[in-house]
């Protein structure tokens, strides 16, 4: 009886370990960027840095990335900003979360329909950055 119980326990353990080892792990790297600068070199640099970082991390466990836009940086997500639309959409399509600060939206009278459809929203840009840091994300300014 003991041998059968022991064998049954061993089988359950083996199947449990096999199931765990087959569970895909999430991305290894978690990075949140901030953009609060007005149009200029910072906007172009942001896209270049995020793209380059994701390419490097693709070889090293993958990445989860969010960019938080507030203050003057919020304008980068506006539909009137056609110069960056295609490149931002490419980032969003690759899995990068592009988050508009709702506080900045209120202060600047920006409505949801004024933003690119691929933009998401967070209640507070600064709070979102703090939440991500508390959760262990790397913070890039």
Share of the chain above pLDDT 70, in %: 82
Q: Which two tokens stand for residue 70?
A: 């507030």
pLDDT tens, residue by residue, 7-16 = 444 444 444 4
Contact, 46 vs 67, CB < 8 A? Answer: yes
Total number of domains constituting the chain: 1
pLDDT tens, residue by residue, 42-86 = 999 999 999 999 999 999 899 999 999 999 999 999 999 999 999
Q: What angle do CA 125, 126, 132 make, to 5 degrees?
A: 90
- pLDDT class for 40, splitting at 50, 70, 90? confident
Asked if residue 97 is part of any domain, the answer here is yes
Residue 136: partners with Cβ closer than 8 Å, 6 or more residues away: 30
Residues comprising the chain, all counted:
141
Asked if residue 96 is part of any domain, the answer here is yes
Number of H helices, E strands in the chain: 5, 5
Asked if residue 36 is part of any domain, the answer here is yes
**Structural domain span for residue 59:** 26-140
**CA distance linking residue 31 with residue 88, whole number of Å:** 17
Asked if residue 6 is part of any domain, the answer here is no
Contact, 27 vs 60, CB < 8 A? Answer: no
CATH of residue 42's domain is 3.40.1260.10
Residue 1, pLDDT score: 53
Which pTM was predicted? 0.82
Asked if residue 14 is part of any domain, the answer here is no
């Amino acid at each position: 009886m003991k041998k059968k119980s022991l064998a049954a326990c061993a089988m359950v353990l083996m199947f449990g370990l096999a199931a765990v080892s087959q569970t895909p792990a999430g991305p290894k790297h978690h990075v949140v960027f901030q953009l609060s600068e007005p149009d200029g070199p910072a906007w172009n640099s942001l896209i270049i840095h995020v793209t380059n970082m994701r390419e490097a991390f693709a070889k090293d466990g993958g990445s989860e990335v969010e960019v938080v836009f507030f203050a003057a940086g919020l304008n980068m997500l506006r539909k009137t900003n056609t110069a960056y639309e295609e490149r931002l959409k490419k980032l969003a399509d690759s899995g990068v979360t592009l988050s508009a600060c709702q506080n900045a939206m209120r202060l600047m009278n920006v409505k949801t329909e004024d933003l690119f459809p691929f933009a998401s929203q967070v209640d507070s840009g600064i709070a979102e950055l703090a939440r991500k840091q508390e959760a262990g994300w790397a913070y890039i300014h």
